[in-house]
A and B are shown apart, each in its own frame.
Chain A
């Protein structure tokens, strides 16, 4: 072995990182900084509310979550609203995915008319604000085709999100190498069989992360249907506030409920992603 002037054996220890780095990298200090920042925000809100003479009445909030009456246990308005929001979102999402898949396939079909229709649809939907789209469905198309506000809400959310979902699906499908198409073709598969058995199962892992984002986005934007008084979480929040004037407490609670739902969703999907992770 040649001696290059380097200490033999264990080798020299690396130089210690500077003190400030060690200080800020430690878990305890990180938690402390986090706590201080959150604390300042909470205190700021509280102090501001005090300053304007706001009367906090948190003790009146639980009755809107659940009640124990003579008849027995019953859910409050907030969980009922949450279930309505989830129903609305799930229905809209399923419909949006169906429309999105149709639009994506039209665009990938290679037919000139097909892709022209798809592009026109995408540009139209993407350039109309969600609120205006809702008004169009409720005030214009609703009376013409005689459907109610609930249907109008579902159609609005589904069509608005189908534009984005179709782009996610298209990107996922395009991410599959052409060799896969050729291999499927060469064993005589129809385009339908190729999508079903070869392309879509492989696309799922490309689609899952952006689709999760889209579901979260849809759940949040479903709050907009409260402007046409469709029964869901935000509408119930507005109703409670008009009865009780506790706008701070109720909006904080509603925001927290949305946050919890979307966080649970994100965590659930990251588990799914691991399941679908195939290495090529």
Chain B
């Protein structure tokens, strides 16, 4: 057995918005290939935490090391890091003035300086992987929400990312489109990608998660493997939360 390599190491991390403390004393380690699902009530700091992982937010104290690179405000390596850490947003955030193919090609071409032909090959390859090769020439507005989110996943993958962050990827979708996005995410998990997913889709969590994280009021309340998390969570608050979202 090889020693597991930590991809994300969070130690003692604090984050403030003015006087409001959004993250309190966070400790978390994500190994290479590990799938972590973070859940918790809204305002608990889940999104803030994963937005710290690619420098969309900066922590105020503590230590954050991603793939061996220390992340802090003003770090020179942050842009190289962002190329390795893909982010999928709740609102897709596709570039509306570019076609689907161009959305996938612009990062590799302009940031990684890859040739156009090679970028297009990669883009078409990933469009196949998210099952919408036929939409390449369309504009984002012509696609359904589920298709847009799959394009957004492909856009991140085109950068040959080593870690994928998902910030409530299905929360803005109509119910009938949630599964097509989750299916793509399950397939991605099977390739061994390191994934951190903020979601309330507990079916998905059960299927792919190696580790479940429950957050509340800026703190990690519970970290446990899914078998234990869903059947016998150690904290009362987590039990309550699970009851609420699993009732239906």
Binding site for B on A (CB under 8 A): 177, 179-180, 182-190, 193, 197-198, 201-202, 278-280
Contact = CB atoms under 8 A, between A and B. Distances in A.
Contacts of B111: 187-189, 193
Contacts of B94: 183
B80 interface: yes
B153 to A, nearest CB: 12
B139 interface: yes
A41 to B, nearest CB: 46
A188 B111 CA distance: 6
A183 B89 contact: yes
Interface in B60-100: 79-80, 82-83, 85-87, 89, 91, 93-97
Given A182-B89, A193-B110, A279-B141, A187 B155 contact: yes
Interface of B: 54-56, 79-80, 82-83, 85-87, 89, 91, 93-97, 106-107, 110-112, 139, 141, 152, 155-156, 159
Nearest to B56: A182
B86 A188 contact: no
The CB with the most chain A CB atoms within 10 A, among B86, B94, B106, is that of: B106
26 contacts: A182-B89, A182-B93, A183-B87, A183-B89, A183-B93, A183-B152, A183-B155, A185-B82, A187-B83, A187-B106, A187-B111, A187-B156, A187-B159, A188-B83, A188-B111, A188-B112, A190-B79, A193-B111, A197-B110, A198-B95, A202-B95, A278-B96, A278-B97, A278-B139, A278-B141, A279-B96
A54 B159 CA distance: 77
B95 A188 contact: no
Shortest 6 CB-CB contacts between residues of A and residues of B:
A187-B107, A183-B93, A179-B93, A188-B83, A186-B87, A188-B82
Contact of A186 (B54, B95, B96, B97): B54
A189 B93 contact: no
Contacts of B112: 188
